[in-house]
Structure 1
Amino acid sequence: MPSPICLVALFISVLNAMKHRESISIGGLKMALIGRIPGSIVGGLLLMWISTQALALWLGLLVLFAVAVSLLPLRIEPNPTRMGIAGFFSGVFGTSSGIGGPPMALLLQHQEANQLRGNLSAFFVFSSIISLMVQWPTGFLTWHHVLLTLPLIPAAWLGYVLARKTTHSLPKEKIRFAALALCLVSGATAVWHGFF
C-alpha cells in the first residue's frame, strides 16, 4: 500500500519545504518534476499489472544498484538530463512502492545540507501529489488508505520535531551517509519483501 507512505511523505515534505524555502531551487528541479510525471504513470501501471512481490524485488535491486554506484569514487553531478532520469525513476519507485527518494537523494547527495533538504522537500511535495493523483484512479488511494494514514501523522510530526533539534549540528558528510544508509535499508527491505 504505497498511498499511506506517500501521504506521510507529503506531510513531512511540506513541513521541510517551508523550513528550508530559502534554499530551494525550483528551476533546478524542473526537469526532475517533468520526469516524475511519466515515471508516476509507469508506476501506476506496475501497481495494476505486476505482483507486489515481483515489484518489491525489482525495485529493491534497483535501489541497491544505485547505492553501489553512489559509493564508487566517481561523482555524478546533477544536470537537466540526469535530473529528468532521476525524476522518472523516482516516479516509478514512489508511485508503485512509496520509496521514491533514492534516485533523487543519490543525485543530489553532494549538495550543501540546507540546499539538499530544501530541494528534496520541494520535489517531494509535488511528486507526492503526482503519485497520489495516479494512485487514486487505479484504486490504490481510497478513504480507507487515508484513514490508515491518520495514526501515522503524530509519529511523523514527532520525527520532524526531533530532526529539527539535531540536524543543524550534523555535517554534510554525515547527512550523505545517512541518506545512503536510508537508501540501503529501503532497497534491502524491498528485496526482503520480494522474496518472502
Structure 2
Amino acid sequence: MDIHSTTLLAMAIIFLGAFVQTTIGFGLAVIAAPLLFLINPNYVPGPIFIASLIISILNTLKYRENIEIGGLKIAVIARIPGSILGGILLLYASSTHLSLWLGLLVLLALAISLLPFRIEPTQNRMAFAGALSGFMGTSSGIGGPPMALLLQHQEANALRGNLSAFFLFSAIISIIVLICIGHFTLHHLFISIPLLPATWAGYRFALFSMQYISKEWIRYSALLLCFVSGMSAIYQGL
C-alpha cells in the first residue's frame, strides 16, 4: 500500500472513531488503534493522541456545562504515574507484542462495555481507573475503557462531557511522556496532520446524524467492528 492510500485509509478510520466517540462518549482509540497499527504502526500511539486531543477539545467545549471537574481531579492526577509506566512498557515492547497487547485491550474494552452490573465511581476507584487508563493509554493509545466503565451510568451529556474533559488532560499527559521517551517525533506530528480534518469531519457528522440514528445501533455496530479489529491485531501478534 502506497503512502497516499495509507493516509486516506487512516483518515477514514479516524473519521469513524471520531464519529463514534462524539456519539457515545468514547471509542475513537478502541476502534482506530488496532486498525491503524495494522496499516502503519507509526500511527500508534502518538498520532492517536493528537486525534484524541482534538476530538476531546471539541466535545469538552460542547458539553462544558455538564463537566464536574472536582470528581475528575483525582483520576487526572493518578493518570500521571500510570502514563509513565505505560511509557516504560513502550521502551521494551516489540511491535509484535504491541499488536497482541492492542488486540487484548480491545477485547477487554468489549467485555467491560457489556458488563451488566454497576460500579459506583468512588474516589479510590477513580484514582485506580485514572492510573490504569494512563498505563493502557500511553502504551497502546487505548485508555478510555476504565473511566468509561466507572462513569457509564451518568446522564448522556454528563458522560460525554466528563469523559471528554478527562481525555483532554489524558492526551496532553501521554503526549508529554511519549516525547520524553522518543516515541513522538516530528515524523509522528507530520503524519498526524491529515488526521485533523478527518477528526473534525467525524465530529460534525456525528452532531448531524445523532437525531436520525439510534445511539444503541451505533454502539453495537462499533462493538462488532472492535471485535473484528481486536481479533485481527491478536492474529497479527501471534
Q: Report if TM-score (shorter chain) is over 0.5.
A: yes
With 76-85 and 178-187 compared, the bigger mean Cα shift is at: 178-187
Tell me, in whole angstroms, the C-alpha distance in 1 between the residues paired with 2:170 and 2:226. 18
Shift in Å, 1:65: 3.5
The answer on 1:86 being equivalent to 2:129 is yes
When the two structures are superposed, what TM-score results if normalisation uses the length of structure 2?
Answer: 0.72
- Structure 2 residue 67 is matched with structure 1 residue 47: no
The verdict on how the C-alpha distance between 1:170 and 1:117 changes in structure 2, with shifts beyond 3 A counting, is farther
- Asked if structure 2 preserves the Cα contact closer than 8 Å seen for 1:113 and 1:172, the reply is no
SS in 2 for 1:135: helix
SS of aligned partner of 2:180: coil
> Secondary structure in 2 aligned to 1:27?
helix
Q: Counterpart of 1:32?
A: 75
Shift of 1:68: 2.4
Q: Retained in 1: the 8 A contact 2:112–2:145?
A: no
In the TM superposition, residue 10 of structure 1 has moved relative to its aligned partner by 0.2
Gaps (5+ residues) in structure 2?
Answer: 1-43
In structure 2, the residue matched to 1:110 is 153
Counterpart code for 1:17: T
Given that 1:112 and 1:172 are in contact with CA atoms closer than 8 Å, whether structure 2 keeps it comes out as: no
Aligned length: 195
Cα offset, 1:173, TM superposition: 5.7
Question: What is the match of residue 160 of structure 1?
Answer: 203
Q: Distance in 2 between matches of 1:181 and 1:30?
A: 33
Structural RMSD (CA): 2.4
Structure 1 segment 163-178 matched on structure 2, within 5 A:
163-167=206-210
C-alpha displacement of 1:167:
3.0
Quickly say closer, same or farther: Cα 1:69–1:166, change in 2 above 3 A.
same
Distance 1:21 1:27 in 2: 14
- The secondary structure found in structure 2 opposite 1:136 is helix
- The residue correspondences of 1:1-196 to structure 2 (distance < 5 A) are 1-167=44-210, 184=227, 187-188=230-231, 190-195=233-238
The farther-off stretch of 19-28 and 88-97 is 88-97
Structure 1 segments (4+ residues) deviating >6 Å: 169-172
AA partner of residue 19 (structure 1): K
Structure 2 counterpart SS, 1:164? helix
TM-score between both structures, scaled by the size of structure 1: 0.87
Unmatched 5+ stretches in structure 1: none
**Distance in 2 of aligned mates of 1:35 and 1:186:** 29
The CA deviation at 1:84 is: 1.2
Distance 1:55 1:12 in 2: 24
CA contact (8 A) 2:86 2:136 kept: yes
C-alpha distance in 2 between matches for 1:174 and 1:30: 33
Question: Measured at CA, do residues 193 and 176 of structure 1 come closer, stay the same or move farther in structure 2, by a change above 3 Å?
Answer: same
